[in-house]
Structure 1
Amino acid sequence: MSSDVTEQKLVDGSSKAEGRVEVFHDGSWGTICDNGWDLRDARVVCRMLGFEGALDAPGSARFGQGSGDILLNLVGCDGTEGNLVDCAHLGLGVNYCGHAEDVGAIYYSGAHPNSVGVRLMGGSNGSEGRVEIRYNSTWGTVCDDSWDLQDAKVVCRMLGFGNASTAPGSAEFGEGSDDILLSHVGCDGTEDNLADCAHLGFGVHNCQHNEDAGVTCLLRVRLVGGSNDAEGRVEVLHDGSWGTICDNSWDLRDARVVCRMLGFDGVLDAQRSARFGQGSGRVFLAYVRCEGTEGNLADCAHTEIEYYRCSHTRDAGAVCYSGAHPQPFQVRLIGGSNDAEGRVEVMHNGSWGTICDDSWDLRDARVVCRMLGFDGVLDAPRSARFGQGSGRVFLAYVSCEGTEGNLADCAHTEIEYYRCSHTRDAGAVCYSGAHPNPFQVHLVGGSNDAEGRVELLHEGSWGTICDVGWDLRDARVVCRMLGFDGALDAPGSARFVHLVGGSNDAEGRVEVMHNGSWGTICDYSWDLRDASVVCRMLGFDGALDAPRSATFRQGSGRILLSYVECEGTEDNLADCAHSGIERYSCSHTRDAGAICHSGNH
């Protein structure tokens, strides 16, 4: 849409908050066709006009037929845009409509008059579950189309939690059985109620219950009653009130999560029995069971909020630290054929003891090896491969990230907290210098030799790397292995689209990857909505144009897609309607392109 479209207004409503939507272009007012028009589109207009949100997005000229040009058709907003010019559409003046299809909008100011209630169902605790909302006295689910963390944040805030950590779809917490009440929810994360967010309308959807949306909410914590800010009774915020945690099963791994949530580097102690005084509010949590590596207590196993009765005499506490651990472990390797391997033993209170192999892996052994001055680790053997120790078994459930300077900085249970047999003593095999069995890597599927999918060689075969935890630090290692100076990006989620032949990285011929090869898209039905999806896949904010007819020169590979028909709100071209891979013949003279933009239109 040209930026000449500068104004919007409502016409012929019974109040200033409703009417036919008209837009101003080239000195005249025109209307919008109702094809694809929904609450998300109306919400953008209403916010431009100073209202809080949209109640309805009527079509079929409910507020009478306009008399000017029909300027827009198939508008596709996600509901969070600041201006209609940022939404997908067919193009200015491109339509096949009559004024009997003019759109309207009904708005509101202040709180939404039809606010919804919300609850979480099917989770393992009260801070996670399938999202269900109450509307018109009926509970129903939310479809996961376009569901993301911004939407989940609003749900968590409605329930009194601090924030959201995940926004799973695909009925991760089980399928609901009631009506599906919302779809294509589009919150900006600041709303007080889901009803204030963009959505298709209550009860409007094209979903099944296997698409039910869920959330995992984060708990807010604080330490109270200690002699300094690094220690105290652990309290969590729920539903606007602070409450305590019962010390059932409370240990160092749980306290470590609390300390890291508060910005400390680790934990020294996990106090029980109201060591820092009894709280006065409610006891919210019991049987908290963290691994110690979680980012929030809500990610740990625990009972539902206030599910178990517990006295404040059992309030849990934590003692945290910053910087290096003030009481680091000493370690040694025993029973190996050389000094670079052996059973791992740690010193505690003047005695050497072993480590139980529960959850023991290469990351834990790597920390041990580096403590002993080696450069890395080759193996993390279990089951007393280097013989059984004779002292006590000090540690169990050690869980390092692999970058710690000392085992004391890793998550683990308290000293001798769990019984474990010496038949399960953990070991380590270290090395010095270069790794004796280095990986070979290469990049596949990029537009040049400096980008692509990372593959590594193992036992004669090439394989890929899962993107869980993958970031620039990992990509930097790969780039240096290949002789480059650094890494610019560390994409995951199998990014298989790029722009080729433009004058800059924001424009070009659209190419997609299929079966390891790049191919183009035929421009049959190609428009701004399709280009908008491509641009967002590449990290841009939207599309300025959807050029056709090989504007950015003809490709040389296969023509993989044709008749692509996106709504403009999808996250990936694969989610859009299309003819299928190589279903129709098409010439490269019709290769589709995109011109993207960042920031405001």
Structure 2
Amino acid sequence: MATYSSILAWEIPWIEKPGRLLSIQSQKSWKRLGSRQLRLVDGGGPCTGRVEILDQGSWGTICDDGWDLEDARVVCRQLGCGEALNALQFAELGQGSGPIWLDELNCGGKESHVWRCPSQGWGRHDCGHKEDAGVVCSGFVRLAGGEGLCSGRVEVHSGEDWTPVSDGNFTLPTAQVICAELGCGKAVSVLGHMPFKESDGRVWAEEFRCEGEEPKLWSCPRVPCPGGTCHHSGVAQVVCSVYAEARLVTNGSSWCEGQVEMNISGRWIALCASHWSLANANVVCRQLGCGVAISTPRGPRFVEGGDQISTVRFHCSGAESFLWMCPVTALGGLDCSHGNTAYAICSGNQTQALPQCNDSLSEPAGSAASEESALYCSDSRQLRLVEGGSHCAGRVEIFDQGSWGTICDDGWDLDDAHVVCRQLGCGEALNATGSAHFGAGSGPIWLDDLNCTGNESHVWRCPSRGWGRHDCRHKEDAGVICSEFLALRMVSEDQQCAGWLEVFYNGTWGSVCRSPMEDITVSIICRQLGYGDSGSLNSSVALREGSRPHWVDGIQCRKTDTSLWQCPSDSWNYNSCSPKEEAYISCAGRRPKSCPTAAPCTDREKLQLRGGDSECSGRVEVWHSGSWGTVCDDSWSLAEAEVVCQQLGCGPALEAMQGAEFGPGNGSIWLDEVRCGGRESSLWDCAAEPWGQSDCKHEEDAGVRCSGARTTLAPSTAGTRTTSNPLPGIFSLPGVLCLILGSLLFLVLIILVTQLLRWRAERRALSSYEDALAEAVYEELDYLVTQKEGLLGSPDQRTDAPGEDYDDAEEVPVPGTPPASQGSEAEVPPEKEYQMRSSQTRSSLNVSREEANPGEGEERPWLLQGEKGDPEYDDVELSVQGTSTVTFW
């Protein structure tokens, strides 16, 4: 089988045509074609770059006129780089030099070599190098499903799709070739027994027989599997790392003592002693077959091979088999003084049994035997921080006698926390937390009433009540936040997947400098924040206001790095760059819909509680990729619940619920293994498995019960988090006072408005009532006047019978005059009698109008004042006392 490398592809030198062999001239042409070579350059890998062809001793390019995916497909296949993903134009990967060999290419996609495609002719063109063509190929091999690009299952491209490779007869040399081809350093682990996908049982039908020196997997010898079926128990898995090799360098005779050095990117570099711990040294000793670490003496030491010292910090528990298995932090390494390198002294006996750990040592304290036994005893225990979202923050746990246990917070202070942080290589302690701030642990409580001075090498060497002796419960578990605790966020006013990049270090949020940030660095940042797999730097935004630290510059991530913390950079510096050099990143978030409501939205709108008995309790649901999903309860504790409650404005968390306490949800399980510190401003700031990757069912949905003190404070999110306060409290005192005063003013306003409406309603009712009564008065008066005219008769009648009429009128009592039985009658002339009747009628009308509009001194409506009035009113009322009562009531 013909093989091809990324820089060399030979034309087949023989071809028979039907009925005749090629002529000598044709054979010379084939021989000349066979001397051509093809390569991709300036693309960062063997399967991406500007297309260049070697001919007549010169490397030349291809013009992009007519350049498309069919042409790119021929290039990718010829180089063994899988499928063409993109055909690049306009010298996108930089301009070449030398000749332009091809122009107006028009491949059908099936040609074996790109120079066999129809074109304008060899060397004929009308282009410049600003039109050089390039390609992006899928590659022949990839590692998928792991953390980052440099670990995972081995898959090769068949020309149509990615196919897994069997773990049967898969060797370490083959893994070395794959890691080198992908730019991932060296292979540190080859694993098998990973089941195939249930829906796809296909497997690559060849076995690779690499020797380890081949430039690409495509170049390795391969043989078909016997019978066309490869023997396997699963898919081959490979882990690559740049921290593959370690050694101890010394001038002495022992191979198990000396300066600690690592082979990083092909160079042996000494490690700095500032964060070197006995646990780290123990891993190196085990990796080299030198038993266990006895001590890590400090002091200036000779650095071989140059003055460079690596500031990479390892955070081993001491039980790992290889140094590359330990969590590592490379970002912002502290300056290391010349000669202050890490040193380790190993026991040198791999089979030596460790003595039993006894807290009451029989040897006198301070003796050589006592110190040696203490070191061995320390080595048998392990220390870690959990539930804090980082190996440098969380609940303190110690492994001993086969169980992980905790420390009680009685007497727990910064001196105790300092010992923990230093022992883990996490700098100094920023905070010593108590009351199970990072959630309640389980298992034994190993230590209580701790009283460290701050200088002890191990936390269990501090004075205490005694190993395993305590009067505590896990609600009193101790925790720490160390200076090396790191967090990442984007700050923006109105963007969801873009903003100013900030890192939390040494207890303060600060900006990140953008030089010389490359595409791989931006991609790792976007992936770490959950904003997609790619992004770009934006240099056109205006300068930010305010002052803040500019923590780190010179970040250069590699393919092997799975987070920003693993990327090498310059050392931490408060003023690493000027404000105009702050990094603003725009990520290409792969989400069909950015918000459950109208865009732009905040983190608060992407979080909800369902199934609870109040708006501040229920099953936790998060919005991602256009749909609501749930959170698995693995690692779910009060710290995560606290973040959820604060993000929703529901006050402190009361309970972290597990096992679908509020009923199982539906849809996707978006988050698993969420690990918060408890003071993050958003659940999106907490560490977790990649979105949508979980091993849970909805019977494990997480829930929370908050105190319910819901506030209307503006949410703090990736789009609005501009404060430099790293660990915000629940509420500020001014905010609470403003909320209370605002509520009281609102209540007073409601009362005043209610009283005003009642007063206006009463006025309208009274006015209507008075109008109705006045109308009734006028009608009654008209009736009375008519009746009196009937009783008194017409003027003609009064002239004819004045005495009779007068007698009728005389029967009416008049106020102010004695009744008939008590006084003498007076004779009134007819003309006087008429004038008196007219005067009485006018007086009655005047009284009615005055009483309908009572004076200011009156307190009751005029109808309720029965005995008040003038003499004229009394005349009228007395003359009609039978009818007036019926009319009014």
Shorter-normalised TM range:
0.3 to 0.5
Give the structure with the larger strand fraction. Answer: 1
- TM-score, normalised by the number of residues in structure 2: 0.23
Give the structure with the larger helix fraction. Answer: 2
- TM-score, normalised by the number of residues in structure 1: 0.32
